[in-house]
């Protein structure tokens, strides 16, 4: 490690153990399985590069000394993406915090920019993020793209890996001669959801949407089935501009501070972000389908007030977090429902799992057809029972992106990454120094 | 008629037969069947009201004298919507030409405003029309909503009758005491595609989109099947912002002035309007699927230049028009393909009809699932053969909105209107003076 540090020149760093340890963690503790596996792991040093020259110095020093590097954004991932398995250095990208330009519906941004700050800066240009995670207030754009898969906005724009949602990437490679590499179009897939294993990503070019004055709207329905039927129908209304369509079981409502008092007992809720132009028609449609309004707010006003909770902080991975804040005996899964018979399968899983599971859905198109992701909140007992539940979902044709593992492959619905991704890692990081242990298929390429 | 005119006060009018006759026609002549049926029909007088007081005076005078009224926008309908079957007065709404306000993604506009002028006025507010017909340069917003069903923009926003695409309507009724009526939300369906039979529509409130610098992009593919496969796949990419996805058979390309020289022989074409942020990814996807770029332009530049043709003027009902300009021996159909096995059915109909039909598709979602409308251009022989072809489409599960008839019912895919619509007409026009003969189910309500 002293070799490595001595090669870094004036790159800012600290070896203060408490700080380094804090910056070696993310939200992996959602999973009791990952908690047991990853607790206590830490890098040896924390680097806070200021610019591309610092990244190049870090890459060269890492190669010369064989030091592992784990890039870090806001540390809000749930798969241990930012936890170094083999020590070395954590590269904190938060200094890369500038919006570089916005034009023609495209923004160029440094990878470490906080997503709330980015959205606010985009709004000054009449634009906004197409999609963001429920951790928007703390996450970075680079962490979202390198570690996430979608979020608020995906009901309209699809997932982060869908064509057109990432236009360009700049990264510093760990090739024999480390250098800055600019990737365009489909080539950018080398960084999507690769946990930082394929390069030190410094800049991103993303399409941005026109700014909308989003409205938070929560609707209560007497049954989960009615809530799901409305949510799906609403999600499929092309004429209603929307950013979020979530469903939560009645059992989750007590964990939702902004809703629990106003929601009638035993009612499931649908959480929406809708454009002002869609508000009246949405409420009319909900009323026709048995829903009542239990909460209305201007999303930005709730977001700007630290004492309030925008509805999106009850959705996506925050749904589980709201439960965990009160009760650590729960965990969750990430699942994808097929586009046919979606709601029948949702009902079937709720029946099969009873009060061991609280249904939570996020509507998102799958290859252009409306479907939904399920992020069920589970009462946790043992790893064996968790494995049984995963098998139960899969036996019904519901794919599971298992959030109780830390490799890219095991956390993916298909348990593999594309051969191209492993080949790209081989090209950009032949020594395997970037977030080592996270890409199984690259490790398999290496001589033993 | 002199009774009627004497009751009108100072409402501007003319009885000049040549002018009245010209303003009693629309584009019904696309159909040789309608041409035979409607040629020569004319109103007796042309009214050009200036304001709501004029509309009220017209409504009162029509009731007092039993005079039929046929409202008219740009006269670009193809079903004879604006052709008076029983004489009387044509009410030319072109004086209602003002954009009243734009806020929070909603515009309030007078019904007679030209759609190109409206789109330009919206752009001054950073907005644009969600959808418009290929006749944008001449059509009015009121005519589009009262006589149309969708158009350029529908691939993203759905059809005009989909929830959320019409928020408010103001009309002057022909009740016992004619009055101005304001309709909101689902009530507005009373005017959608009702051919002006349910009221004299004076104002409309519509959601508007954020302005985009659309790019015209035409791609050539060696086969119709490849063109269709790309078009469908592109239409289903949520990450690629788009306004238009059309497919035209190789046989149509010689009729397309902007494309015929650049398109390789025997190649089908896909005509797109894409956002600047989507251009590179779209071309990359097209290249991967066997397409070559044959035309690129900035849509607004082509639209602003009277000597140029924006790609949208090769699509929707303009496709047939481009053929008819050169060869009156053709006509067309309006069809809707099911959401399953869509492209297999497209191929099947092309096989069955051979060179009697040129395939033309417009991609549009159907209840939230991507499908396409077909507006096939047909070599016309006899009404009997035309009926056979319609039956052939229907026997394959493809719905036909027959454009060779003039009633709302017969031109609809289901040959009926909702009982509610006939009841609404009974309420707003109990004497049946508005565009008489166009709503069969209302006529059936009347005592013989």
pLDDT mean over A175-195: 96
User: Residue A141, Cα to own-chain centre: how many angstroms?
Assistant: 10
Query: What band does A447 get if pLDDT is binned at 50, 70 and 90?
Result: low
Nearest to B335 by CA among B346, B326, B344, B327: B346
Q: Which CATH number is B334's domain given? A: 3.40.462.40
Chain B residue with the nearest C-alpha to that of A278: B164
- Residue B20 in any domain: the answer is yes
- Residue B330 in any domain: the answer is yes
Q: What is the pLDDT of residue A418?
A: 84
Helices A342-353 and A224-235 sit at what angle, rounded to 10 degrees? Answer: 150
For B129-182, write each residue's pLDDT tens digit.
Answer: 999 999 999 999 999 999 999 999 999 999 999 999 999 999 999 999 999 999
Q: Which of A163, A239, A367 is nearest residue B162 as measured by Cβ atoms? A: A239
- Residue B103 in any domain: the answer is yes
- Say what the alpha-carbon torsion angle B327, B329, B334, B339 is, to the nearest 10 degrees: -80
- What are the strands of the beta sheet with B369-374, ordered from one edge? B292-298, B215-221, B268-274, B242-248, B360-366, B369-374, B335-336, B399-400
For A11-35, write each residue's pLDDT tens digit.
Answer: 999 999 999 999 999 999 999 999 9
Residues in chain A with CB shorter than 8 Å from the CB of B277 are 104-106, 164, 167, 207-208
CA distance B230 to chain A (A): 13
Same domain, B388 and B342: yes
For A167-176, write each residue's pLDDT tens digit.
Answer: 999 999 999 9
DSSP for residue A403: T
CA distance B108 to chain A (A): 12
Question: Who contacts B115 (Cβ-Cβ below 8 Å, separation ≥6)?
Answer: B74, B129, B132, B133, B135, B136, B137, B139, B140, B141, B144
From B42, B73, B94, give the residue that closes a domain.
Answer: B94
Percent of chain B with pLDDT over 70: 100
CA distance A1 to chain B (A): 43
Same domain, B129 and B171: yes
Annotate chain B with three-state secondary structure.
CHHHHHCCCCCCEECCHHHHHHCCCCCHHHCHHHHHHHCCCCCCEEECCCCHHHHHHHHHHHHHHCCCEEEECCCCCCCCCCCCCCCCEEEEHHHCCCEEEEECCEEEEECCCEHHHHHHHHHCCCEEECCECCCCCCCEHHHHHHHCCCCECHHHHCCCCCCCCCCEEEEECCCCCCCEEEEEHHHHHHCCCCCCCCCEEEEEEEEEEECCCCEEEEEEECCHHHHHHHHHHHHCCCCCCEEEEEEECHHHHHHCCCCCCCCCCCCEEEEEEECHHHHHHHHHHHHHCCCEEEEEEEHHHHHHCCCCCCHHHHCCHHHHHHHHCCCCCEEECCEECCCCCHHHHHHHHHHHHHHHEECEEEEEEECCEEEEEECCEEECCCHHHHHHHHHHHHHCCCEECCCCCCCCCCCCCCCCCCHHHHHHHHHHCCCCCECCCCCHHHHCCCCC
Chain B residue with the nearest C-alpha to that of A207: B277
Same domain, B396 and B309: yes
Put simply, the answer to whether A239 touches B276 (Cβ < 8 Å) is: no
DSSP for residue A434: B
- Residue B405 in any domain: the answer is no
Give the residue from B155, B238, B283 with the most A CB atoms within 10 Å of its CB, the best one to mutate.
B238
- Residue B106 in any domain: the answer is yes
Same domain, B72 and B109: no
CA distance B280 to chain A (A): 7
- The Cα–Cα gap between A22 and A39 comes to 11
Same domain, A244 and A254: yes
Give the residue from B239, B272, B299, B300 with the most A CB atoms within 10 Å of its CB, the best one to mutate.
B239
For B167-220, write each residue's pLDDT tens digit.
Answer: 999 999 999 999 999 999 999 999 999 999 999 999 999 999 999 999 999 999
- Residue A295 in any domain: the answer is yes
Strand-pairing partners, residue B75, are none
Q: What is the pTM of this model?
A: 0.96
From B94, B123, B149, give the residue that closes a domain.
Answer: B94
Chain A residue with the nearest C-alpha to that of B188: A281
Average model confidence (pLDDT) across chain B: 96
- Residue A410 in any domain: the answer is no
DSSP H helices in A161-289: 224-235, 279-288
Same domain, B193 and B279: no
pLDDT mean over B18-37: 95
Chain B residue with the nearest C-alpha to that of A276: B104
Q: Which CATH number is B175's domain given? A: 3.30.465.10
Q: What is the pLDDT of residue B274?
A: 98
- Residue A437 in any domain: the answer is no
Tokens of A17: 């153990």
As for how many domains chain A has, the answer is 3
- The Cα–Cα gap between A277 and B167 comes to 8
For B73-112, write each residue's pLDDT tens digit.
Answer: 999 999 999 999 999 999 999 999 999 999 999 999 999 9
Q: Match 């059915």 to its residue by tokens.
A: B345
- The Cα–Cα gap between A122 and A128 comes to 5
Query: What band does B416 get if pLDDT is binned at 50, 70 and 90?
Result: confident
Q: What is the pLDDT of residue B439?
A: 95
Same domain, A345 and A203: no
Q: What is the largest CA-CA distance in chain A?
A: 69
Strand-pairing partners, residue B45, are B89
Chain B residues with CB-CB distance to A under 8 A? 104-106, 126, 156-158, 162-165, 167, 184-186, 207-213, 235-241, 275-278, 280-282, 284-285, 365, 367-370
pLDDT mean over A140-154: 97
Q: Which run of H or E residues covers position A106?
A: strand A106-110
Average model confidence (pLDDT) across chain A: 96
From A94, A113, A138, give the residue that closes a domain.
Answer: A94
DSSP for residue A339: S
Query: What band does A419 get if pLDDT is binned at 50, 70 and 90?
Result: confident
Same domain, A276 and A380: yes
Same domain, B316 and B390: yes
**Contact between residue A170 and residue A181 where contact means Cβ atoms under 8 Å apart:** yes
Same domain, A79 and A120: no
Same domain, B330 and B275: yes
Put simply, the answer to whether A209 touches B213 (Cβ < 8 Å) is: no
Range of the domain at B158: 96-211+420-428
Residues in chain A with CB shorter than 8 Å from the CB of B369 are 236, 369-370
For B315-344, write each residue's pLDDT tens digit.
Answer: 999 999 999 999 999 999 999 999 999 999
Q: Which of B163, B282, B285 is nearest residue A285 as measured by Cβ atoms? A: B163
Same domain, B237 and B374: yes
Query: What band does A142 get if pLDDT is binned at 50, 70 and 90?
Result: very high
Burial of A9 (0-12, 13-18, 19+ CB in 10 A): exposed
Q: Which CATH number is A40's domain given? A: 3.30.43.10
Tokens of B422: 């006939």
Q: Which of A104, A164, A237 is nearest residue B281 as measured by Cβ atoms? A: A164
For A227-285, write each residue's pLDDT tens digit.
Answer: 999 999 999 999 999 999 999 999 999 999 999 999 999 999 999 999 999 999 999 99
């Amino acid at each position: 490690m002293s070799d490595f540090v001595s090669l870094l020149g004036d790159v800012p760093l600290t070896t203060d153990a408490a700080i380094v340890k804090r910056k070696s963690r993310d939200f992996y503790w959602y999973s009791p399985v990952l908690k047991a596996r990853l607790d206590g792991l830490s890098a040896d040093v924390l680097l806070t590069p200021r610019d591309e020259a610092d990244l190049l110095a870090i890459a060269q020093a890492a190669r010369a000394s064989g030091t592992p590097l784990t890039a870090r954004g806001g540390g809000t991932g749930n798969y241990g993406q930012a936890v170094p398995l083999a020590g070395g250095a954590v590269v904190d990208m938060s200094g890369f915090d500038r919006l570089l330009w916005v034009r023609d519906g495209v923004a160029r941004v440094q990878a470490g920019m906080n997503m709330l700050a980015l959205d606010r800066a985009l709004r000054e240009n009449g634009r906004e993020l197409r999609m963001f995670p429920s951790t928007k207030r703390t996450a970075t754009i680079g962490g979202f793209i390198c570690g996430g898969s979608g979020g608020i906005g995906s009901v309209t724009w699809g997932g982060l890996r869908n064509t057109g949602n990432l236009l360009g990437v700049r990264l510093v490679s760990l090739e024999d001669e480390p250098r800055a590499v600019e990737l365009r179009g489909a080539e950018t897939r080398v960084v999507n959801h690769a946990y930082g294993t394929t390069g030190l990503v410094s800049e991103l070019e993303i399409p941005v949407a026109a700014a909308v004055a989003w409205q938070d709207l929560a609707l209560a329905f007497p049954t989960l089935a009615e809530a799901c039927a409305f949510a799906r129908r609403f999600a499929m209304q092309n004429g209603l501009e929307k950013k979020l369509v979530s469903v939560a079981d009645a059992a989750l409502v007590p964990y939702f501070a902004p809703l629990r008092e106003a929601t009638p007992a035993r009612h499931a809720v649908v959480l929406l972000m809708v454009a002002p132009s869609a508000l009246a028609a949405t409420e009319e449609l909900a009323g026709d389908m048995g829903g009542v309004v239990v909460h209305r707010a201007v999303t930005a006003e709730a977001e700007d007030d630290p004492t309030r909770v925008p509805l999106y902080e009850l959705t996506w991975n925050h749904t589980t977090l709201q439960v965990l804040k009160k009760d650590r005996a729960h965990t969750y899964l990430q699942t994808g429902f097929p586009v046919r018979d979606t709601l029948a399968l949702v009902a079937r899983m709720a029946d099969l799992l009873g009060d061991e599971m609280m249904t939570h859905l996020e509507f998102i198109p799958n290859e252009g057809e409306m479907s939904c992701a399920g992020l069920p909140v589970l009462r946790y007992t043992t790893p064996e029972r968790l494995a049984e539940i995963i098998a139960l979902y899969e036996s019904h044709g519901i794919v599971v992106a298992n959030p109780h593992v830390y490799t890219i492959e095991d956390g993916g619905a298909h348990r593999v990454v594309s051969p191209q991704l492993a080949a790209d890692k081989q090209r950009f990081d032949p020594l395997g120094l970037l977030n080592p242990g996270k890409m199984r298929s690259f490790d398999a390429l290496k001589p033993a």
